[in-house]
Amino acid sequence: MLSAMIPAAAFVLISLQSQNLKRLAERDHLQIDEIRHPLTWQGDGYVVAERPASAAQLAAYERIFVKEWSRYPASFIVKSAVHRIVIGVHLSMNDQLRASVPAFDGDTMYYDAALGARSAHYQRIVIHHEFFHLVDDRMKVIYHDPEWEKLNPPGFKYGQGGAKMRRSGVGELTDTIPGFLTRYGTSAVEEDKAELFAHMIVDGPYVRQREGADPILAAKIGLLEKRLAAFDPNMGPKFWKKIPGWSDLRRTS
């Protein structure tokens, strides 16, 4: 169900850095909007709300966003069927603050330019983590993925979902949980996959180090690489060779 669509007049690109966003939008055949007025969007069973960001907030976020989003080949964006990116602040879904919301039924990614702004690493992870949720949905295995789940240690059970695990520190990297990079990844199968994807891009050297000592994690990496390459051949080895700290630590076996 799509409703409460936002009029085009509610969007405008307002900061100097927006020229970079315009080029990115043209490359990927999508619309990137920095909102000037508060918006509310009604999805299928959820409500997204967001407010305008300041020019300073937008400029700071754009520098991070453009660099991270530009890593993806344009074909990957097209196949993910995301048609719009919306950037603002005070982003929420059903009144719960979020750094990003992937609106599957709206073909839209919402991002908050200010939440977590004191940590560029956190914002980078969010960009890739939340976008992967949308890709995972397009691959039709996001919430029900027995092939992935069988890779976990015997007897392991996921938690109650990401929305129920929002304590401080759960997103920090750890080597204390076999098969997982963060405690947040244990909350649900969809969060496990999204955490792995994001950290593979942002924390390549750490993930490669863990992979060598953790056969469960190695199996998950292999499956994720296989799926991404099948979804879009441009997300195969050619993509990973461009990820810092990843290609120079390739497996030799």
Per the CB < 8 A criterion, the answer to whether 157 and 179 are in contact is: no
Q: Which helix (H) or strand (E) holds 138?
A: helix 120-138
The pLDDT, as a whole number, for residue 252 is 40
Query: Which of 245, 234, 171 has the alpha carbon at shortest distance from 205?
Result: 245
Q: Which residues, in sequence order, are CB contacts of 166 under 8 Å at separation 6+?
A: none
The pLDDT, as a whole number, for residue 2 is 37
The pLDDT, as a whole number, for residue 192 is 96
The pLDDT, as a whole number, for residue 171 is 72
The pLDDT, as a whole number, for residue 16 is 37
The pLDDT, as a whole number, for residue 170 is 80
Q: Which helix (H) or strand (E) holds 74?
A: helix 74-80
Per the CB < 8 A criterion, the answer to whether 163 and 170 are in contact is: no
How does strand 39-42 pair with strand 47-51? Answer: antiparallel
With a cut of 50, list the residues of the chain below it in pLDDT. Answer: 1-17, 249, 251-253
Q: Which residues pair with 47 in a beta bridge?
A: 42
Q: What does the mean pLDDT of the chain come to?
A: 88
For residue 4, report the phi and psi dihedrals to the nearest 5 degrees: 50, 45
